[in-house]
Structure 1
Amino acid sequence: MPVSILSPVRAVLAAAVLLLALLAGAVPSAAQTRVKDLVTFDGVRRNQLIGYGLVVGLNGTGDRLINTPFTEQSLKGMLERLGINTRDEVLRTRNAAAVMVTATLPPFSRQGTTIDVTVSALGDATSLLGGTLLVTPLLGADGQAYAVAQGSLSVSGFSAAGAAASVTKGVPTSARIANGAIVERELKFALDDIGAVRMALRNPDFTTANRIADAVNARLGGGSARVLDSTTVDVRIPPQFHGAVARLIGEVEQLSVRPDGIARVVVDERSGTIVIGDDVRVSRVAITQGNLTVRVVETPQVSQPQPFSNGQTVVVPRTDVQVQEGNGRQFVTLGGNVSLQQLVNGLNALGVGPRDMVSILQAIKAAGALHADLEII
């Protein structure tokens, strides 16, 4: 039986097609992000709480009452409420400290649930190690008490000192109490009573807002979501989710979209940190960078008079100024519309440090070749 010579060719072609299909599948698609990580939902928010309290039980590391009169007043007020009269007494304890207590009240926190609190020294206490926070009401922005904190402090830092030296690790004047506050008042907010869910983008952008609205409409049906502005996307509650808004929010959170943003270069001149976004593009430009070093050396000399003369010994100043210009580097050319990696490679080819790169980026921006926002912080 004759064998066709086309069989091996077809086999090779089939293998090539399969390989291309595998390679195409291996190419990473555009980065998708959950809506949950891009927006916040109106009404689903945290609230800040603050309170003033006293920490006791410190091992001589508390406030000096002579320097912190508010601590002494707080101690006397607390003792009087407990039936102990100290009105005419002079307190000399160093085992107590005035502190500020802060906490974050999560959304939909119910009465009786617990939250973490942070305790920070207010006076001149040197350490809160071993202290216990007394009952402290935590107030909201409206002046109402929403939680009450109390408990033993957990301090991560420590401080030790001797006659001639001291060692400090971390911040011993700041501490935390895990589950240290009990919620006493609930925020009244009925999620099922709202007629629409409003989402606020963490990074306002019209393109991202429209993509989120398109994803929601594809899931819930056309007309369910509309973009109000670059920050806000409004979602109308469909009939099937009446009385089940929490389920609607849960499904919207899991939708995936590709966020967009403005091309931006962020420069921190204090630390020399540079962050370049992936969308940053640079037009064709040639760059060179040179170094100029000026060195001033002072080598004073002592001039002494001759023996048995009436002269005086004087110091004669001598200054040596040296100017050194670094070897001229050749121009490095960045091609038109280069990517982030090409931009980084081109800057690294100059052999300069981060601080010099800041000046180079500013010069590229001034030349009109950097197509991005240059933000200096």
Structure 2
Amino acid sequence: MKRLLIIMLLASLYSTTAFAERLKDLVSVSGVRSNQLVGYGLVVGLDGTGDKTNFTSQTFRNMLNNFGVAIPPNINPNSKNIAAVAIHADLPPFAKPGQMIDVTVSTIGDAKSLRGGSLLMSPLKGADGEVYAMAQGSLIVAGFGAEGRDGSRLSVNVPSVGRIPNGASVERVVPNAFSQGDSLVLNLHNPDFTTSRRVAEQINSLLGPDVAASLDATSIRVRAPRDASQRVSFLSVLENLRVEPAEETAKIIINSRTGTIVIGQNVRVSPVAVTHGGLTVSITEEFDVDQPNILGQGRTVVTPRTGIDIEEGSGRMFEFAPGTSLQDIVEAVNQVGAAPGDLMAILEALKQAGALRAELVVI
């Protein structure tokens, strides 16, 4: 019997008890965020796996000119050991000059691999066009590839992308509004009105009434000290508070590519009967070769022959009682031997019939 690949959205199938979590795992402070950086540079030292694009040659020529090496205009420095790359990184909040961050390097030309290469010094810019970090270092590439003279090729993972741990030094501080104003705003990772209210109530029970106020399903405003050091201590106390989050909404997520189905424990089904059956159509294509007489003037003819076979499976029916739970759904579908694809069709049909009390998301 086929079994369904089902991932439980909550910790236990049989228990509906919610557990208190630390506030630092539920919220983030408004304005305290990372910033994306991007840059362009050259990777050198490749073992003949570089690219041969015009912009790579132009970049290489400009770099040599900066070092006082002039290449004649009629000579194309078409080296196979260099590659033009795009560089990107995330600048953490409160990062200070001199600290190191990781960078990711990706080819933008026709280079086959970055294995063994080193990135030359390249500036990383933010969305405002300012330079916030400088990247340089030896690449770590997880993938590799091999190619034969006949055009055959073998590739494991992606050899055209590499990483440089601690490959960029921070050069500029990103300003933020952490120490400004009389209050802070906490944003929930998963918006929920009940959780937002509980967070405000928990803070007020510790620090007094009207310290925190729930603004909406996502944000909670908290009055905070103006002094930066006191504000750090204040947040240190808040982020270790224990808050019981609200139960998740009833939701079913289906990944149609992998057959993975995620079902929350709050999913319910109205009284309904479901029949499960299958119709299999097999089409085979064969070719018959007709040979003429040896002494005749005819020619060989290839005649296609198509075969069609239809097999109808025995349909099965099962019934869902009022308030059917996740456990009942899984057991009922497994009893009829349904595959993940069959369960997807059953759930979609239940949704169309209005019998499924859950949000159905197909990705």
Normalised to the residue count of structure 1, the TM-score between the two structures is 0.85
> Using the alignment, how far apart are the partners of 2:228 and 2:119 within structure 1?
45
Q: Give identity over the alignment, percent.
A: 47
> RMSD value over aligned CA atoms?
2.4
Between Structure 1 and Structure 2, whose CA radius of gyration is higher?
1
Q: Which amino acid aligns with 1:155?
A: V
* 2:133 equivalent among 107, 128, 147: 147
The offset of 1:55, in angstroms, is 0.8
> Using the alignment, how far apart are the partners of 1:305 and 1:170 within structure 2?
53
**Which is richer in helix?**
1
Residue pairs, 1:294-309, within 5 angstroms? 294-301=281-288
Partner of 1:129: 115
Q: Deviations over 1:304-344 (max 9, x none)?
A: 67898888765555444332210222x21222212222222
Normalised to the residue count of structure 2, the TM-score between the two structures is 0.88
> Using the alignment, how far apart are the partners of 2:70 and 2:305 within structure 1?
74
> Using the alignment, how far apart are the partners of 1:350 and 1:248 within structure 2?
57
Kept in 1: contact 2:182–2:225 (CA 8 A): no
Matched, 1:335 2:321: yes
Matched, 1:92 2:78: yes
Kept in 2: contact 1:288–1:350 (CA 8 A): no
From the superposition, tell whether residues 86 and 356 of structure 1 become closer, same or farther in structure 2 (CA, over 3 Å): same
> Using the alignment, how far apart are the partners of 2:155 and 2:48 within structure 1?
16
Structure with more relative contact order (C-alpha pairs < 8 Å, separation 6 or more):
2
Matched, 1:218 2:205: yes
Residue pairs, 1:1-377, within 5 angstroms? 29-64=17-52, 68-88=53-73, 89-164=75-150, 165-189=152-176, 191-237=178-224, 243-260=229-246, 261-301=248-288, 318-329=305-316, 331-377=317-363
Kept in 1: contact 2:280–2:311 (CA 8 A): yes
> Using the alignment, how far apart are the partners of 1:54 and 1:69 within structure 2?
13
Q: Which runs of 5+ in 2 are unaligned?
A: 1-14
From the superposition, tell whether residues 304 and 87 of structure 1 become closer, same or farther in structure 2 (CA, over 3 Å): closer
**Which is richer in strand?**
2
> Using the alignment, how far apart are the partners of 1:133 and 1:318 within structure 2?
60
Q: Which runs of 5+ in 1 are unaligned?
A: 1-26
Kept in 2: contact 1:115–1:181 (CA 8 A): yes
The offset of 1:244, in angstroms, is 1.2
Kept in 2: contact 1:121–1:173 (CA 8 A): yes
> Using the alignment, how far apart are the partners of 1:253 and 1:213 within structure 2?
13
Q: How many residues end up aligned between the 2 structures?
A: 346
